[in-house]
Amino acid sequence: MVIVKTIIELKNILRKSNQSIGFVPTMGALHDGHISLIKKARLENEIVVVSIFVNPTQFLEGEDLDKYPRKDEADKKICELCDVDYLFMPDINTMYNKDEVTINAPKTKGYILEGFKRAGHFDGMLQIVLKLLNIVQPTNSYFGKKDAQQLSLITQMVNNFYIDTNIVACDIVRESDGLAYSSRNVYLSKEQREKALSISKSLKKSAKSIGEGQRDCKTIKNNIIEYLDNIDGLEIEYVEIVDKEFNKIEEIELKNTIILIAVQLGSTRLIDNIWI
């Protein structure tokens, strides 16, 4: 595995290759969710590139940029064990200039749900992903379904700007107790972690009710809220049911529905979802 720090070096390396490139952009603190993306990229491409960059422009004032977990040495070892070819680890001065052309998220889809409370978050996320895609120019780019709205916006950006890469949506990976993998899980106390399991349990209950014939979104949403409201210390930020284009729907559309949840547990914000 080669660790690359500069854009010029990475572009020069990749330009010489006529092989397929699989790309996994991350903010580090790698866990089994990231590893699943890397393994899929390894299986489907001749060259695998992983980037690690904690992107400051997608953190809002008062969010956990400074506290965001950084585990560079462990991340390097994980990438090496996963047979990554090139690990791109730029610094902020490499990725950003003082006065930049910027990109804005869509006025509707970029400012609902995750974008409502965190206005501007998706602007910064799309900015860095666009930069990374232009640098790597991957054949296939791998993103997790856990960040469903992010995945939808990246897919839209790739289509709107005619970027020549295939976006591969990868299933959510969960810990043995059902908690969706997240770099922020390390912030949870033992008691909070137990309470966090109610999120995935509520989604499973919803999936079961849909399997039994329930199709009314309002009923399903109210059942989730009622279940989570009984968890002491868990604050619901939103529960929403949308289609894959993030339009609100009144009835479940099989193979075209996402149920999304965001909660606050102490100082830790958690999101999860299920694709129906």
Q: What is the mean pLDDT of residues 2-25?
A: 96
Predicted local distance difference test score (pLDDT) of residue 64: 73
C-alpha–C-alpha distance, residues 27 and 50, integer Å? 10
Write the pLDDT tens digit of every residue in 120-132: 999 999 999 999 9
Q: What is the CATH number of domain 2-170?
A: 3.40.50.620
**Multiple choice CATH, 183-275, 3.30.1300.10, 3.40.50.720, 1.10.3710.10, 3.40.630.30:** 3.30.1300.10
Q: How far apart are CA 11 and CA 194, in angstroms?
A: 45
User: Which pLDDT belongs to residue 62?
Assistant: 74
Domain ranges for the chain, please list them. Answer: 2-170, 183-275
Q: Which of 4, 23, 25, 34 is catalytic?
A: 34
Look at residue 60 and tell me whether its pLDDT is greater than 90: no
Residue 24 · residue 52 · CB < 8 Å: no
Task: Please confirm, yes or no, whether 31 is among the known catalytic residues.
Answer: no
pLDDT, averaged across the chain:
96
pTM listed for this prediction: 0.95
Tens of pLDDT, residue by residue over 66-113, are 878 889 999 999 999 999 999 999 999 999 999 999 999 999 999 999
The answer to whether 17 and 134 are in contact (CB under 8 A) is: no
3-class SS of residue 196? helix
pLDDT computed for residue 109 by the predictor: 96
Q: How far is CA 51 from the centre of its chain?
A: 14
Beta-bridge mates of residue 216: 251
End-to-end CA distance of the chain: 38
How many CA atoms, within 13 angstroms, populate the side-chain half-sphere of residue 19? 15
Sign of the dihedral defined by the CA atoms of residues 197, 201, 203, 204, in that order: positive
pLDDT tens, position by position, 237-268: 999 999 999 999 999 999 999 999 999 999 99
Instruction: Identify any residues that bridge with 234 across adjacent strands, giving them in sequence order.
Output: 265
pLDDT of residue 65: 84
What's the confidence (pLDDT) of residue 275?
98
Residue entry with tokens 């866990």: 31
What pLDDT score does 41 carry?
Answer: 98
What is the pLDDT, as a whole number, of residue 66? 81
Q: Which two tokens stand for residue 204?
A: 């499973």
What's the pLDDT at 6?
98
- Which residues of 103-220 form beta strands (DSSP E)? 140-144, 166-170
Residues 31 and 68: beta-carbon distance below 8 Å: no
Contacts of 121 (CB under 8 A, 6+ apart): 58, 59, 60, 114, 115
**pLDDT at residue 153, as a whole number:** 98
